[in-house]
Amino acid sequence: MTTHPKPVTISVAAAEFGRDMEQGYATIAALLEEARNRGSQLLVLPEACLGGYLPSLGGGDETEESRQRRLKALPPALELDGPEIKRVIDMAGDTVVTFGFCEKDGDTRYNAAVTVDGSGILGSYRKVHQPLGENLCYDAGDSYSAFDTPVGRMGMQICYDKGFPEAARELALDGAEIVASISAWPTARTATVENMEEDRWKQRFDIYDRARALENQIIWVAANQAGTFGSLRFVCSAKIVGPGGEILAGTGVEPGLATATVDVDALIGAARGGGMYNLRDRRPSVYRTITKEPVHA
């Protein structure tokens, strides 16, 4: 585990981002300013900050007209080394910032995340798990890896990834102490409720966040979109979760910035030092079916 000379102050956002790139940069700048005012060294922003998310989800058959309409509604595709990402790098300065965007690689698009500071790109990631027809718009990534930053060794996930314990475990086994899980996580499409606190997809979001932190004994930082986009209404619920599964700070179902000062070494050391060290006590030889390809009906 990386040795941290002092506690790390982390801020995480539930904020609204749409197609207007200039508005997106303005929102990032405002959140950066607020995070710095709180003394934060790390700011985690939602999925699809630059250019917004997809206006709707759902697979199945579609007409050619529907396909063309869907393709025209996609967010702008940006290159990892392009000027749009560089603009956030220049804004970041000494602050480590994680955010989402649509990545262009030749003719291929990925739902992507990147962590930067003023020195450049510290790590990048392409979303592996795709829900509800997202594969109609993006190709899938194929790897998880942790990376070193000024605030410690980090990993990244995007939205639906949090539903797969293997994904978080891969990052923890690669030494990630802090995982930034960025989302555009909406309310349920059926059995809707007036009080968002009671929404079943909101409750799943929270359970996943706490479980992934607890089972890997790491710091889990979950950002999410706020407001609405297209047919989607987002659950907010940005939070920082400690390695015991405890919520250290959160926005609830409102937009905002949650902040916590975390002694990473002390918290993780306490969680893993009490006789239950989940990574050490694994028995991989018993988990014979985990990496088998699924059988589809």
Across-strand partners of 202? none
| C-alpha dihedral (167, 177, 223, 252), degrees to nearest 10 | 110
* Residue 6's pLDDT band (cuts 50, 70, 90): confident
Greater confidence (60 vs 278) lies with 278
What pLDDT score does 60 carry?
Answer: 57
Cα dihedral 52, 55, 60, 62, rounded to 10, equals -110
**First CA to last CA across the chain, in angstroms?**
43
**8 A C-beta contact, residue 245 and residue 208:** no
Predicted confidence (pLDDT) per residue in 66-99, tens digit = 666 666 778 999 999 999 999 999 999 999 999 9
Distance (Å, rounded) from C-alpha 35 to C-alpha 43? 7
H helices within 42-82, ranges in order?
64-72
Minimum mean pLDDT range among 23-27, 137-141, 160-164? 137-141
Tell me whether strands 42-44 and 96-105 are parallel, antiparallel or unpaired: parallel
Q: What mean pLDDT is predicted for residues 102-115?
A: 96
Q: Is 158 helix (H, G, I), strand (E, B) or coil?
A: strand
Average pLDDT taken over every residue of the chain: 93
Measured on CA atoms in the order 73, 79, 83, 89, is the torsion positive or negative? positive
Inter-residue contact 124 to 73 (CB < 8 Å): no
